[in-house]
């Protein structure tokens, strides 16, 4: 597994390049390893402020499949709002607009227009629930669940003992959270 600091540096370099190539990217973009914006048409992509993109996400602004059929590639804008999370291995396709305060579930294939304050998931993606409902459900789970502090993470330099403790606690409960 690569060093997280190296991944962070690589991500910052890629973001700087995409901005130079015309992508509009807001403040506080956190992009995990192996996630990419379409390098062929980055100027068609807009990403808001306070966005987290999990590993292995693709944001595409062109569709090369039409090239073989009609001799031209389909292109389309992608607009992603503020305060946003995209789950790992998701694909955002051309001609997609997603409002502020949304969460995209892992493995989703997203195309179309989606309102703000929603949870979006699936292949093809659809609105699953409101952000408010999502928060309420998880706040209830948090109240009855296990909460691990920063010392239970790689960032907090988790020990072997704490890893084992976490595994044991999670054997009896599905509601576990980490700060």
- For residue 62, indicate whether it is catalytic: yes
What span, in angstroms and rounded, lies between the C-alpha atoms of 141 and 176? 8
Instruction: Return the half-sphere exposure (C-beta side, CA atoms, 13 A cut-off) of residue 2.
Output: 11
What span, in angstroms and rounded, lies between the C-alpha atoms of 106 and 120? 10
Where are the alpha helices (H) located in the chain, listed in sequence order?
Answer: 4-20, 65-70, 131-144, 160-171
Q: Which residues contact 84 (CB under 8 A, 6 or more apart)?
A: 47, 48, 50, 51, 52, 98, 100, 101, 102, 103, 104
Q: Which of 62, 89, 141, 162 is catalytic?
A: 62
Active site residues: 62
């Amino acid at each position: 597994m690569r060093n997280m600091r190296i991944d962070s540096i690589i991500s910052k370099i890629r973001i700087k390049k995409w901005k130079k190539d015309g992508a509009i990217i807001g403040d506080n973009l956190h992009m995990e390893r192996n996630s990419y914006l379409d390098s062929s048409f980055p100027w068609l992509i807009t990403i808001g402020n306070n966005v987290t993109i999990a590993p292995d996400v693709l944001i595409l602004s062109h569709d090369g499949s039409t090239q073989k059929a009609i001799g031209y590639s389909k292109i389309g804008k992608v607009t992603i709002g503020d305060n946003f999370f995209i789950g790992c291995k998701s694909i955002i396709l051309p001609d997609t607009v997603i409002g502020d305060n949304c969460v995209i579930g892992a493995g989703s294939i997203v195309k179309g227009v989606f309102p703000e304050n929603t949870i979006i998931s699936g292949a093809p993606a659809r609105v699953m629930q409101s952000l408010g409902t999502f928060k309420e459900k998880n706040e209830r789970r948090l109240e009855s669940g296990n909460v691990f502090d920063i010392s239970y993470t790689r960032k907090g330099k988790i020990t072997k003992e704490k890893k084992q403790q976490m595994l044991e606690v999670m054997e009896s409960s599905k509601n576990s959270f980490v700060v």
